[in-house]
């Protein structure tokens, strides 16, 4: 598989462009540690099994499932803000996945790139502006829309052929988004998702230094 063979590439952000999964995992743990070690550990374990799913879904779920009750509006708002405060700067300061920055920089004028992430859309837009990569993408999309919905909408709006498109991701949500829209999927493999994708038969890479 050669990335250059695709005219359009959909990129996940955390774990694919930025090696920021540890920062996001630590944030989930810290948000819930005040409810006890067991709750925080359960939240962390679920997050690691379900990468690519937005915090807008996960945090209310963790209150209901692990804390044992639904969070009130103010409590939920505090948890969301706490997560953002913990994760945003850490994500910005995380290293790029090797080769990702270089590939985007080299090819953004000859290929169409889109970011498709579970991060809230306003936050990912701000992150890309801060990092100086905003203009390298034809579109930058995040929660609350699902990755499946985002890819479908872009393909329909731009009249894209399935065979011209590739989704690069590190989570089941990325794989589902690609398969639901009939496009190729490239797995970015790392220690956090090796067990989850141990039986995945498709193409996988550890970095982008080979492209």
- The tens-digit pLDDT sequence of the chain (211 residues) is 899 999 999 999 999 999 998 888 899 999 999 999 999 999 999 998 887 788 899 999 999 999 999 999 999 999 999 999 998 889 999 999 999 999 999 999 999 999 999 999 999 999 999 999 999 999 999 999 999 999 999 999 999 999 999 999 999 999 999 999 999 999 999 988 988 899 999 999 999 997 6
pLDDT in the model for residue 42: 96
Q: CA-to-CA distance for 177 and 162, rounded, in angstroms?
A: 13
CA of 148: how far to CAs of 118, 179, 194, in Å? 11, 9, 23
pLDDT at residue number 187: 98
Whole-angstrom distance, CA of residue 114 vs CA of residue 196: 25
Rounded Cα gap, residues 171 and 15, in angstroms: 9
Q: Is 168 helix (H, G, I), strand (E, B) or coil?
A: strand
Q: Where in the chain is the domain with CATH 1.10.150?
A: 21-93
Which CATH code fits 3-19+95-205?
Answer: 3.40.50.1000
Q: Phi and psi dihedrals of 143, rounded to 5?
A: -60, 150
CATH number for the region 21-93 comes to: 1.10.150
pLDDT at 3: 97
CA dist list (Å): 25 to 124, 131, 137: 17, 21, 26
- Where in the chain are all domains bearing CATH 3.40.50.1000? 3-19+95-205
Structure tokens at 133: 């990569």
pTM: 0.88
């Amino acid at each position: 598989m050669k990335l250059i063979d695709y005219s359009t590439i959909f990129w996940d952000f955390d774990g694919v462009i930025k090696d920021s999964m540890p920062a996001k995992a630590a944030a989930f743990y810290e948000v819930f540690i005040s409810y006890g070690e067991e709750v925080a550990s359960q939240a962390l374990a679920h997050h690691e099994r379900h990468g690519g799913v937005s915090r807008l879904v996960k945090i209310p779920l963790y209150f209901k499932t692990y804390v044992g009750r639904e969070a009130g509006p103010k409590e939920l708002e505090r948890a969301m803000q706490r997560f953002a405060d913990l994760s945003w700067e850490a994500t910005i300061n995380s290293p790029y996945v090797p080769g990702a920055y270089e590939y985007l920089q080299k090819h953004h004028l000859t290929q169409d790139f889109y970011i498709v992430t579970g991060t809230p859309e306003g936050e990912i837009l701000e992150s890309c502006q801060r990092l100086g990569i905003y203009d390298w993408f034809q579109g930058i999309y995040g929660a609350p829309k699902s990755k499946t919905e985002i890819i479908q909408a872009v393909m329909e709006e731009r009249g894209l052929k399935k065979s011209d498109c590739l989704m690069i991701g590190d989570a089941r949500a990325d794989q589902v988004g690609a398969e639901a829209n009939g496009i190729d999927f490239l797995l970015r493999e790392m220690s956090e998702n090796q067990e989850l994708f141990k039986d995945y038969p498709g193409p996988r890479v550890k970095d982008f230094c080979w492209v």
